[in-house]
Structures are given as structure tokens and as C-alpha cells.
Amino acid sequence: MKNKNLIDSFNNAISGVIHAIRTERNMKFHVVAAVAVLIASLFMKLTRVEFIIVCFAISLVFICEMINTAIEALVDIIIDIYHPKAKIIKDVAAGAVLISTLFALIVAYFIFFDKVGSELETGLVRIQQTPIHITAVALVVTVVIVLILKAFSKITTPLSGGIPSGHAAISFSITTALALWTQNAAITILSLIISLMLIQSRLEGKIHNMLELVTGAVLGFLITLLLFQVFYCNV
């Protein structure tokens, strides 16, 4: 069935991600590993190119795992009994996941191994002076945790309802980052007003209830606050 509009397209795409996280054990492992790697990157003196390569490796593993899940579901629909060719299709798809995972491990080895001992302390100092990296990681971690929580909640459209509210989580994550980064009252108040207006629109549109919105806001606030408390000092 074709999507009626852009929102339906996003809903269906996010539903696919949530289904993979909910049903696939390997996908759960990949999510945890991705969050751990992104947080570890805060300690390391990664260049922009290195950080992009790490993100590409993570994305490649996710893409291959989700394609593998889709292929398995399609084969199960077409062939409901054991068939040698069906096994080949599933094995080849699983092989793609294996190759992408090996690629990610090689990337992690070459980028992180030499930095673990020699640049851990200097990397920590560098991160304390670069809040933009902390903000980016905080947003990614917030989105991942929201998707994980939605994966275990009974929702039909991820962008319309469910606990926690992703919009509230992301908006309050950004507001918290701006407040801690700029330490400017005017910027903080303006960002807070925009976040509250977003929450009000979701509430008036009956997309979320108050509990879902508050849960999302608190989640975004706490994740960002935690990362800034650990990694950032205003020097």
C-alpha cells in the first residue's frame, strides 16, 4: 500500500526500525554497541573524517541487519516449508550482516586501538572544550533510547503517540545542551519557550498525553545533563 503523505512514510519507516529492535536479538546488541561506541568517541581525539567513518560503519551494520530481517520475513511469507533455496537466501543475507559487522570491527580497531592508551586523557580534555560533540552524541543517544522504549510499548504509529514522546525528548535535549553550553539566559528561555510550544501542540493535537510528554522531556533533559556533567567543563 502506498503512503498517503510524508508523515505516513516516516511512521512506516520508524515502525520498521522499532520492529527490528523489538524482534531481533542481534539488532538489540547492535544498538547497545552503537551507543557504547558513540559515548567512547567522546574520550578520543577523533578527526571529523574518523567520526564520519565510525558513523558510516554503525549505519552499515544497521542497514544490513534490517535488510536481513526484511528478507527473512519475505521468504517466510513465500515459502512456509523448508526449502534449500530459501536457506541459501537467508544465509546470504546473514552473510551480508557478518561482513558489515567485521568491517565495523576493523574500523573500530584502526581508529580506537591506538587511542585508548595514548590519547584517553588528552581526549577527555578536548571533549571538555568541544560541547558540540557532546550535544551531537546526546541527541543520538536520546533518539536511540526513545526508539528502544517505543519498541517495547504497544503503538501503531511511532510519530503519533506512545511513551515517551520523541519530540519532547529531542527538544528538551537541545534546550538543556544550549543552556549548559551557552550559559545565556536569553537563549535558554527562548529555547525553552519553543520546546513548551512544541509540547503544547502535541497535547492539543491529541497526539500525546501529558504523561508521555513529560516522560520524553525528562528523558531528554537527564540524558543530556548526564553527558555534560561527565564530559564538559567550561574552561
Give the DSSP per-residue string, 199-234: HHHHHHTTSS-HHHHHHHHHHHHHHHHHHHHHH---
Burial class (CB in 10 A: 0-12, 13-18, 19+), 220: buried
Give the separation between CA 130 and CA 216, rounded to whole angstroms.
Answer: 26
The catalytically annotated residue of 24, 50, 65, 72 is 65
65 is catalytic: yes
The CB density around residue 17, as the number of other CB atoms within 10 Å, is 17
Residue burial 141-157, b: 16+ Cβ < 10 Å; e: rest: bbebbbbbbbbeeebee
Backbone angles phi, psi at 38, to 5 degrees: -65, -40
What residues are annotated to the active site?
Answer: 65
